[in-house]
């Protein structure tokens, strides 16, 4: 997810673009750049770093331009990969948010026809296509070029021969016009220009817009009345897009972040393994896989490991990175998968080095393109969750689980693991997860109440079975790390082997009890603790399961066993969030913790 911004007719384009980028930085911050007019040429300033590292004093006075703050999806965060991008003749500058899925074939064709590329990004193909199609009208040229693009995009373009014009178009990435006295704007998010206007026009997929100092012209993809509307929130609420905390915003971003993760990956056989020499079929040759991770990423790996066994017949082991020791004897035939949101966790990187030194093939699954984990492993896969600011992992957890789920299905397809119908059925269920999460997040009142009730307790248990065990560990970790309640995640079957001694009158127990084969054994565990006075809350996806049980019950949407780990995870996140709110802790920056633990 990136932030893009264009302005036309303003007095000091470089300063206004810089200020707007700072407000968009929550959308991505691994590199940044801007382009402004300089007579009949374009002047660029780009940096492999944060917005504040841009030296805008190097730019000439200008009244229009475009800008970008990047969350890398293709190509590491270097200056050459920072947007805006230009074609060979530097006549155009382009900024992009999204993923051009067919960038490789477009790039091949452009290089064959003589274009020289200067970056590793998917975006640069658009700059060269605009150069080829330009015939005096940058908006018409963008309208033509967009027809060749597959994937998702919000695109802004300016041309040196058209002073004052910003061209814009979008498909499945947001773009909104801002109409102000000082000039007109177009951006990923209103926050970029909210300081100047509350009059906006939200573009829709396929729309093409021409923005100038005194006018805007939107060519709608489908006929509709185009007229400004007023936004009613104040700027200060906007950095969190209106949410009180980044964590709640990121919880609510999960339908979107999972949609992003699914783009281009749900047709069996197409899965983007980023590597110089390893392909998906290469990964399908391994009969053994070892996951190495920490914290939430360990829990995601534990949940996913079962899917590798079930669908791909790959024997899996999940190791805490800090405890990992490679098995030299089997290293040659082992795929070691490092799961790490930040891609910089010292324990995980250390384990990755041990795996490589032992001769194992390594794959990283991470949220940060260009992170050490992507450079150190033999191959890597981005989860595309966008920047996760809150220390507590939320969308990165479901993103990791989702990407590993997809990978298990693709490997199963190649290894003839699960039956093809089963794999297709499960892929269809994954496509449905964003809708289920949207429905769940539409009304979290009951989960809010449970969280605030839990806040009065010093300890609690979260029970699960199968993948639910991993989700129980993750929910307990969320509760622990942001509300400071001593929550323990447990495999339900383990209760009677000791932990049951801790159950007493009123002990809170959250039970992840999906319908299907796990229901009976989960119900037995719930009865066990209830008989000893526990206050049991059932989180389930079946309507009738606990009607006569006396258990407080929260229903998640969806009936597919494969979607419950996602809905159960989000229920646990919301409960943890409201427990923390009730306790008044620092939700986004809990005590003693850091977003990326780069020390051992
Ligand atoms: C989870 O909410 C925590 N932020 C923490 O456990 C985290 O998952 C762990 O430190 C691993 O981080 P990584 O995914 O960046 O490697």
* CA 596 – ligand 1 centroid, Å: 7
Which residue has the least CA distance to atom 5 on ligand 1?
295
Concatenating the DSSP letter of every residue in 514-569 gives -SSTTHHHHHHHHHHHHTTT-EEEEEES-SSTTTTT--EEEEPS---TTTHHHHHH
Out of 379, 397, 431, a domain closes at 431
Residue 517 belongs to domain spanning: 441-583
396 and 256 part of one domain? yes
Helix 420-442 and helix 295-312, axial crossing angle in degrees, nearest 10: 150
Q: Between vectors from CA 265 to CA 264 and to CA 271, what angle results, nearest 5°? A: 105
User: What residues does 202 pair with on adjacent strands?
Assistant: 176
**Burial of 137 per CB tally in 10 Å (0-12, 13-18, 19+):** middle
pLDDT over 70 (residue 598):
no
User: For the chain, what percent of residues have pLDDT higher than 70?
Assistant: 97
- CA dist 545 and 348 (Å) reads 40
Nearest alpha carbon, ligand 1 atom 4: 392
Helices (H), 80-137: 103-112, 124-133
d(CA 421, CA 418): 8
Phi, psi dihedral angles at 180 (to 5 degrees): -125, 165
599 in a domain, yes or no? Answer: no
Q: Quick check: is 288 in a domain?
A: yes
Residues 327 and 406 in one domain: yes
Q: Is 600 among the domain residues?
A: no
- For residue 348, the ligand 1 atom closest to its alpha carbon is 16
Q: Does one domain contain both 76 and 181?
A: yes
In this structure, the answer to whether residues 192 and 248 fall within a common structural domain is no
Q: Which of 251, 297, 324, 377 has most ligand 1 atoms within 8 Å of its beta carbon, as the pocket-test mutant?
A: 297
CB atoms within 10 A of CB 198: 18
What would the mean pLDDT of 424-440 be, rounded to a whole number?
Answer: 97
Please give the pLDDT value at position 473: 98
Q: Do 210 and 347 fall within a single domain? A: no
Does 34 share its domain with 18? yes
Q: What is the DSSP letter of 441?
A: H
pLDDT band at 23 (very low <50, low <70, confident <90, very high): confident
Active site annotation includes 460: no
pLDDT beyond 70 at 512: yes
Does residue 385 share a domain with residue 521?
no
Q: Quote the ligand 1 centre to 392 CA distance (angstroms).
A: 7
Report the separation in Å between the CA atom of 435 and the middle of ligand 1, taken as the mean of its atom positions. 26
The stretch 249-274 carries a mean pLDDT of 93
Mean pLDDT, range 76-90, rounded to an integer: 94
Percent of the chain with pLDDT over 90: 79
pLDDT digits (tens, 9 = 90+) for 297-346: 999 999 999 999 999 999 999 999 999 999 988 999 999 999 999 888 88
Backbone angles phi, psi at 363, to 5 degrees: -135, 130
Query: Which of these three, 213, 231, 249, is where a domain ends?
Result: 231
* Known catalytic residue at 79: no
- Is the per-residue pLDDT at 136 higher than 70? yes
In sequence order, what are the beta bridge partners of 155?
96, 169
Q: Is 519 inside a domain boundary?
A: yes
CA-nearest residue for atom 6, ligand 1, is: 295
By most ligand atoms within 8 Å of CB, the mutation choice from 291, 296, 299 for ligand 1 is 296
Point out the catalytic residue in the list 2, 7, 294, 460: 2
Ligand 1 atom showing the smallest separation from residue 393 Cα: 2
**Is the same domain home to 19 and 103?**
yes
Q: What is the mean pLDDT of the chain?
A: 93
The string of DSSP letters for 377-391 reads: SSEEEE-------SS
Query: What's the rounded Cα separation, in Å, for the pair 513 and 468?
Result: 8
Question: What pLDDT sits at residue 405?
Answer: 98
595 alpha carbon – ligand 1 mean position (Å): 7
- Mutate which of 250, 300, 303, 341 for ligand 1? The one with the most ligand atoms within 8 Å of its CB, which is 341
Instruction: Give the H or E element holding residue 223.
Output: none
Whether 94 shows a pLDDT value over 80: the answer reads yes
Check pLDDT > 70 for residue 509: yes
Cα-to-centroid distance, 45 and ligand 1 (Å): 34
Strand 288-293 relative to strand 334-340, pairing: parallel
Residue 257 belongs to a domain:
yes
**Position 573 in a domain:** yes
Catalytic residue among 146, 354, 589, 595: 595
Assigned domain for 596 exists: no
Residue 592 lies in a domain: no
**Do 119 and 63 share a structural domain?**
yes
For residue 371, the CA-to-ligand 1 centroid distance in Å is 15
Same domain flag for 68 and 178: yes
Looking at the fold, whether 244 and 346 belong to one and the same domain comes out as yes
End-of-domain residue from the set 193, 210, 231: 231
CATH code at 539? Answer: 3.40.50.10490
Q: Which residues' Cβ are closer than 6 Å to ligand 1?
A: 294-297, 340-342, 345, 348, 391-393, 481, 596-597
Greater pLDDT, 560 or 141: 141
In the chain, how many domains are there?
Answer: 3
DSSP 445-480: HHHHHHHHHHTT-SEEEEEE-THHHHHHHHHHHHHH
**Phi (first) and psi of residue 193, to 5 degrees:** -130, 10
Mutate to test the pocket of ligand 1, among 250, 251, 295 (most ligand atoms within 8 A of CB): 295
Residues 151 and 292 placed together within one structural domain of the fold: no
Strands 166-171 and 151-159: antiparallel
Residue 237 CA from chain centroid, whole number: 22
Å from CA of 80 to ligand 1 middle: 30
Domain with residue 141: its CATH number is 3.60.20.10
């Amino acid at each position: 997810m990136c932030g893009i911004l264009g302005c036309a007719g303003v007095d000091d384009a470089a300063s206004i673009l810089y200020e707007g980028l700072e407000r968009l930085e929550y959308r991505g911050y691994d590199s940044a750049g801007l382009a402004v007019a300089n007579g009949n040429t374009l002047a660029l300033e780009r940096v492999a770093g944060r917005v504040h590292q841009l030296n805008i004093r190097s730019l000439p006075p200008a009244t229009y331009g475009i800008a970008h703050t990047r969350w890398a999806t293709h190509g590491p965060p270097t200056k050459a990969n920072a947007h805006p991008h230009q074609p060979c003749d530097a006549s155009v500058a382009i900024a992009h948010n999204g993923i051009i899925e067919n960038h490789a074939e477009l790039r091949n064709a452009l290089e064959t026809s003589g274009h020289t590329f200067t970056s590793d990004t998917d975006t640069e193909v658009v700059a060269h296509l605009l150069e080829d199609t330009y015939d005096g009208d940058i908006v018409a040229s963008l309208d033509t070029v967009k027809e060749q693009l597959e994937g998702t995009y919000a695109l802004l373009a300016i041309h040196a021969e058209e002073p004052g014009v910003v061209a814009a178009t979008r498909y499945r990435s947001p773009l909104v016009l801002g109409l102000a006295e000082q000039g007109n704007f177009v951006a990923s998010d209103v926050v970029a220009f909210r300081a100047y206007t509350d009059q906006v026009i939200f573009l829709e997929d396929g729309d093409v817009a021409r923005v100038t100092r005194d006018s805007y012209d939107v060519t709608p993809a489908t006929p509709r009345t185009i007229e400004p509307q007023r936004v009613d929130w104040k700027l200060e609420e906007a950095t969190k897009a209106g949410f009180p905390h980044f964590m709640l915003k990121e919880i609510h971003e999960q339908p979107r972040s999972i949609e992003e993760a699914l783009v281009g990956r749900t047709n069996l056989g197409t899965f983007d393994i980023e590597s110089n020499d390893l392909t998906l079929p290469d990964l399908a040759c391994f009969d053994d896989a070892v996951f190495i991770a920490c914290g939430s990423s360990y829990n995601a790996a534990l949940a996913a490991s079962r899917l590798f066994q079930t669908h791909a017949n790959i024997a899996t082991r999940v190791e805490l990175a800090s405890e990992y020791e490679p098995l030299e004897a089997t290293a040659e035939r082992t795929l070691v998968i490092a799961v790490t949101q930040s891609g910089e966790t010292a324990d995980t990187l250390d384990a990755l080095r041990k795996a490589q030194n032992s001769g194992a093939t390594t794959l990283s699954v991470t949220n940060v393109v260009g992170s050490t984990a992507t450079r150190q492993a033999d191959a890597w896969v981005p989860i595309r969750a966008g920047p996760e600011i809150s220390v507590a992992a939320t969308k990165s957890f479901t993103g990791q689980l989702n990407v590993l789920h997809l990978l298990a299905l693709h490997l199963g397809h190649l290894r003839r693991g699960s039956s093809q119908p089963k794999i297709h059925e499960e892929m269809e269920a994954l496509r449905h997860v964003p809708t289920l999460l949207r429905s769940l997040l539409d009304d979290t009142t009951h989960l809010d109440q449970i969280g605030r009730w839990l806040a009065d307790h010093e300890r609690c248990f979260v029970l699960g079975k199968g993948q639910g065990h991993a989700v129980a560990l993750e929910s307990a970790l969320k509760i622990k790390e942001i509300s400071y309640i001593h929550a323990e995640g447990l495999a339900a079957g383990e209760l009677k082997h000791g932990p049951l001694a801790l159950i007493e009158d009123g002990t809170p127990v959250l039970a992840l009890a999906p319908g299907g084969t796990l229901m009976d054994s989960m119900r037995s565990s719930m009865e066990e603790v209830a008989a000893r006075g526990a206050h049991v809350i059932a989180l389930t996806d079946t309507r009738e399961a606990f009607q006569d049980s006396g258990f407080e019950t929260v229903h998640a949407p969806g009936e597919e066993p494969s979607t419950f780990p996602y809905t159960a995870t989000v229920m646990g996140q919301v409960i943890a969030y409201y427990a923390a709110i009730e306790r008044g802790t620092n939700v986004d920056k809990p005590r003693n913790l850091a977003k990326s633990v780069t020390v051992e």
